[in-house]
């Protein structure tokens, strides 16, 4: 059903921009291309949702696909079309943004604060946030949590080896991800101590 809707949307937009008929503008061609890629990304996400049981890690069900935007979690979880040929990278990105929704739930605020305090004690001197691609020192600690939870999810879904390869090859958050890979159990124990581990067996 969705596929037909978006196919119709592509046709509709092309028709509007293709007039007058003497030349299709560059804008029309670019826009059609972007809309088409966004449709493909929607199909990719639907495929991932049917291939993997992602329910334990889905916190928000409102998802946008926007070509050219940097993936982000709020106010609406947004993915882009960069990984049309890389299902696992898109899966990891989707899980990462879902884990931001997970940690930002009001009910978890106190637990998250306490876990971040523990992470601060374990890593008292992280590199300058600008050098490692986080927005602030707080964001560095928050990403130790988010990326730790994402890695835990990937491990459940793909197995240890694939999860490690995927995390290691992620060009973003390298310092954070190295901590997650080197100190997997220590970070997991901190999250577990504050009830933040997601157990996919529990419903
Ligand atoms: Zn993030």
DSSP string, 41-76: HHHHHHHHHHHS--GGG-----EEE-TTSPPB-SSS
Contact 75, 60 (CB under 8 A): no
Quote the ligand 1 centre to 199 CA distance (angstroms): 21
pTM of the entire predicted model: 0.84
Question: Cα separation of 183 and 186, whole Å?
Answer: 5
Q: Give the Cα-Cα-Cα angle 188, 163, 127 (nearest 5 degrees).
A: 60
Quote the ligand 1 centre to 46 CA distance (angstroms): 22
Question: Cα separation of 144 and 127, whole Å?
Answer: 13
**What confidence score (pLDDT) does residue 34 get?**
80
Quote the ligand 1 centre to 23 CA distance (angstroms): 43
Contact 175, 126 (CB under 8 A): yes
Quote the ligand 1 centre to 38 CA distance (angstroms): 22
**What confidence score (pLDDT) does residue 12 get?**
30
Taking residue 186's Cβ as centre, other Cβ atoms within 10 Å add up to: 13
Quote the ligand 1 centre to 96 CA distance (angstroms): 6
Quote the ligand 1 centre to 25 CA distance (angstroms): 37
Quote the ligand 1 centre to 202 CA distance (angstroms): 25
Quote the ligand 1 centre to 143 CA distance (angstroms): 6
- For 4, residues 6+ apart whose C-beta sits below 8 A from its C-beta are none
**What confidence score (pLDDT) does residue 24 get?**
55
- DSSP code for 107: G
Quote the ligand 1 centre to 34 CA distance (angstroms): 24
- DSSP code for 106: G
Contact 167, 181 (CB under 8 A): yes
Judged by DSSP in three states, 8 sits in helix
**What confidence score (pLDDT) does residue 25 get?**
66
Q: Which of 39, 149, 176 is nearest to 92 (CA)?
A: 149
Q: Which of 88, 90, 52, 89 is nearest to 79 (CA)?
A: 90
**What confidence score (pLDDT) does residue 178 get?**
98
Question: Cα separation of 117 and 172, whole Å?
Answer: 24
Quote the ligand 1 centre to 135 CA distance (angstroms): 10
Task: Going from the first residue of the chain to its last (203 residues), give the mean pLDDT of each consecutive group of 10, the final group possibly shorter.
Answer: 37 36 63 87 97 97 96 98 98 98 97 98 95 93 98 98 97 96 98 97 72
Quote the ligand 1 centre to 107 CA distance (angstroms): 20
Quote the ligand 1 centre to 13 CA distance (angstroms): 33
Separation in Å, CA 74 to CA 31, 71, 127? 25, 10, 26
- Two structure tokens written together for 142: 């928050």
Quote the ligand 1 centre to 147 CA distance (angstroms): 8
């Amino acid at each position: 059903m969705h596929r037909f809707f978006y196919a119709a949307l592509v046709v509709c937009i092309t028709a509007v921009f293709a007039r007058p008929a003497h030349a299709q503008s560059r804008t029309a061609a670019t826009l059609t291309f972007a809309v088409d890629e966004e449709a493909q990304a929607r199909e990719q996400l639907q495929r991932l949702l049917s291939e993997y049981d992602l329910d334990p890690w889905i916190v928000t069900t409102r998802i946008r696909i926007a070509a050219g935007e940097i993936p982000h979690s709020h106010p609406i979880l947004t993915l882009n079309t960069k990984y049309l040929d890389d299902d696992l990278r898109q899966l990891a990105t989707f899980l990462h943004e879902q884990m931001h929704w997970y940690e930002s739930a009001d009910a978890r605020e106190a637990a998250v604060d306490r876990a971040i305090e523990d992470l601060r004690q374990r890593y008292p001197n992280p590199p300058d946030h600008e050098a490692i691609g986080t927005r602030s020192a707080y964001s560095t600690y928050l990403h130790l949590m988010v990326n730790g939870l994402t890695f835990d999810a990937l491990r459940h879904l793909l197995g240890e080896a694939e999860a490690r390869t995927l995390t290691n090859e992620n060009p973003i958050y390298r310092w954070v991800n190295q901590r997650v890979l080197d100190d997997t159990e220590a970070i997991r124990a901190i999250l577990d101590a504050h009830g933040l581990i997601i157990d996919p067996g529990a419903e």
